[in-house]
Chains A and B, each alone.
Chain A
Amino acid sequence: MAIDPAVIETLRKQPDMPELDLSWLTTEGPPAVNAKPGRHGLTLDDINIGVYGDAPEVARHGTTRVRGSIARPGVIRTGYYVPEKSDIWADNATLIYEEALQRQWSSATDIPWESIEPLPDEVEEAICQICTFLTEVEFIAGDAPGQWLKQISPDHFEVALYLVTQVMDEARHLDVFRKRALANGCGLLEATGATRGLRNILDAKDFTEMSALMHVLAEGFVQTMFRTGEFIAQNEAEKMIFRLCAQDESRHVGFGVMHLRYVLQHAPERREEIHHYLDRAEQLFGHPSDANSGLQEALLITMGGGKDNIDKGAEMALALTKKQANEYMHRLEVAGLADRRYRMNPGFMMLLDPPKKR
């Protein structure tokens, strides 16, 4: 049922009627749609119908025009966006975005803070050292996606929305570890200045470089550590912190793996370039001989269960490191970078289990 032009003509003739344009009301434009909610409510995938769901291979305008609206000529640009979809895209962005919204939690009220009891001094200090490290480094994964947002075109808005959820998650991570450090009689200790590997993430001039370094490598390692958190945790509160953070982190890693996969599928010529980024990042990031001593010692104490038990702690810490390297390799395989196995930094390569026989 279209708008009747005769009605508009009659309106135009009414006394005191301001000048009417109404072209927006009669312009044909993309078709009308009727998205319906599914099992998970009305999701982004539910509204990605026809042209509205068509994220173009190349974003060609520099304005805030939303995908599927009618372009107006003469509008000022708001930024220089990354034009190529393959440079920023991941097919799971919408899914992770919706999941992130469903799984938000509060560090104030969702952690059983009352379960924290006084700990032996050195264990409390070790927990606080780990928390100091984490409250220090977590938000690098908020600052870095943040600084990329201004380059994501509204034609590829799904990526921007996902990145925003990551910033929000990392805010909570910064916050929850700070809260833990200040909750049980100790305080913050030594920030590690773990900036060699992390500056690298902020320095990245390419989105895929940033994502591979941050999502796949750094957050991958953190994710494995969080998932091993039950061995670090001394009480229910800490277990819950690690569990909830791990859940968030798996979304971040998941985006990175799927982005890398998308790049390798759509721009296979970038394979060697990506290896170069990882060559340098692995070298800076976590070569065992370059390990961060405060964090390392704190892990031995917490995982061993005290200062006198560091042999057990060392064994568990080594198991964690191995798990980190193997899971990293597995993520690379899923992303389509299985050939990294033989050029990985030796410090990591040594930790790898032999590849599964095919």
Chain B
Amino acid sequence: MTGENLLVAEGLSVSMREGETWIPVVYPGDMAIERGGCTGIIGESGCGKSMLCKTLLGLHDPGKWQVRGQVFFDGERVPIEADDRMDAFRGRRMSMILQDPLSAFDPRMTIGAHFLEGCKGKQKALRRREAVEWLGRMYMPEPEAVMKRYPFELSGGMLQRAMIALSLMGEPELLIADEPTTALDSTVQREILWLLARLREERGLSLLLVSHDLKVISRMADWIYVMYAGRIVEQGPVNVLLENPIHPYTKGLFRSRPAYSKERLTVMAGRPPRIGEDTGGGCPFAPRCPQADAACGEGDSKLERADEDHFVRCRHWKGKAGL
């Protein structure tokens, strides 16, 4: 990694309560997000990408979820375990935009009311002006009129712009975009991605971009994490990974490139294990892996360094370089 890290996660894991036991959903892993960069997470649906993002913002209800590990933001420890102390981070240091923009807005409130929420008296006029400005920056047509609209009156693309504006109002340094374009059609997808790239260039915004779509990730990100069944299975700079994917899962992902499709990514035969599903203690990808052998069933493999900053979680990685 060249630049300085804005966010560092160490041994971060999430488990879900099931009666008296905890079922792992995201396995312990490390992660770093470069300041001003765009870090991508890619993986099939249900592999724990959204879980990981929510963990960074401390959004897990401690009664149902158990979060382990540390997160540092700008060198400062983030109290992801303490919901009330996270309020100072959320929205101000890091923020997030969600996959389905329609359900992210309160259906009873206008877009403007969302921007003015929590404002009293004289602040309101100022905040309203700021909001219109932000909407304008998002290339929103007629921002004044949009402020008066209810969420259901706007298109998905307009709502996504409004959500980006709303999330950026608190001037966060990091924006987590969880499948920001999955619910949109392809021309609008491209506009939103262009907008995010522009915000990164002009405002130095750091991005954590989550997608199951390789086109999106390869176009935007400069560093990629590949997730499978709650584990990071491969990571590295985008060009290294694209040219020389090592993990059979990554290879499979890269081979099946759905061009801006809305559907679930269908890679290879089979499906990822469900959470809590018994994988026999071996590599969770082994049942689908074309190169699996008896050794793969004996214990999960570890993330190993394959190259300078290229890591892979496959015990046979040495024999698998190149497509």
The yes or no verdict on A and B being binding partners is no
Residues of B within 8 A of A (CB): none
Which residues does A use to contact B, with CB under 8 Å?
Answer: none
